[in-house]
Structure 1
Amino acid sequence: MIVDIAPAVSAVIAAASAEAARCAAELIGADPADPTGTDPATPDVHADAKALATQLVRLRIELAAGLDPIDTVVVLRRGEVTWAAIAQAAGTSRQAAHERWGRRVREELDGQDSDD
């Protein structure tokens, strides 16, 4: 019996990544329902710092859980977070972080630019 497990694997990875985001928001003190602090009903003057901290903690959680954090790294780079900051969160050198994710991040960001 051959069973295609790819959809199940994708669903588990997506659920784990979403849980990493929820845990990161909770650890930082951001509202898990609005981790970027963009809800006009509850403005947060520290929203940008919390959003950045949440993404960096999410990166650490995803790595510790054995997940591929490429989507989080793409979000960080799109937000102009330096490779040095990403590397520090990942517990590696700037060069190692760039070598590990740089090509994939460029491909993702270049692909999005061509869709516009």
Structure 2
Amino acid sequence: MDSFLETALAADVTAAAVASADAAVNEASRQADLLMGGRPVPGSPEWTAEQEGAAGRQREVATQLLHFRIVLAAGLDPLPSVVGLRRWGVTWELVARAAGVTKQAAHERWGRRVLEILDRYGTGELGGPVADDEADLRNPKGGSQ
């Protein structure tokens, strides 16, 4: 019994914790797809129609928002989801709606860390279709900073 307890109390659980968190994030993605009604089969007429029109992007953004909500509800770190949403061009207002908070609260909670990831060199170039709403949140009254 003592050797079992010693193992339980002394084992390095770092890799197991990372694997568990990764599995939870992957399951959140699977659940988001299920809640959205699944995806069309690649190569099908429905899939082709989505790929050629706005529906594909709309589905992807909606699925990513749903994934974000699931991650939040599960108590997982939502930062990677927020970064992904911002890279898709999702505004802080929509991130906030998905999180059930104000856009200022969402920006205060994740804005600095998202900006550090997307603009790691401080150039102001965020890359991709990131929504241009950072200045509005840093200076909501419209005055000088």
TM-score of the superposition, structure 2-length normalised?
A: 0.67
Equivalent residue number for residue 12 of structure 1: 20
Query: Paired residues, what number?
Result: 109
Residue 113 of structure 1 and its aligned partner are, at CA, apart by 9.0
Q: CA deviation at 1:111?
A: 3.3
| Structure index of larger Rg | 2
Q: CA, structure 1 residues 17+3, in 2 after alignment: closer, same or farther (shift >3 Å)?
A: same
- Residue 17 of structure 1 contacts residue 62 of structure 1 at CA under 8 Å; is this kept in 2? yes
Alignment CA distance shift 1:112-1:48 (3 Å): farther
SS in 1 for 2:11: coil
Cα distance between partner residues in 2 of 1:105 and 1:28? 26
Matches for 1:4-43 after TM superposition, within 5 Å: 4-31=12-39, 39-41=42-44, 42-43=47-48
Q: Identify unmatched segments of 5+ residues in structure 2.
A: 1-5, 124-145
Counterpart residue identity of residue 111, structure 1: R
Shift of the 85–93 alpha-carbon distance from structure 1 to 2, 3 Å rule, reads same
Distance across 2 between alignment mates of 1:109 and 1:4: 32
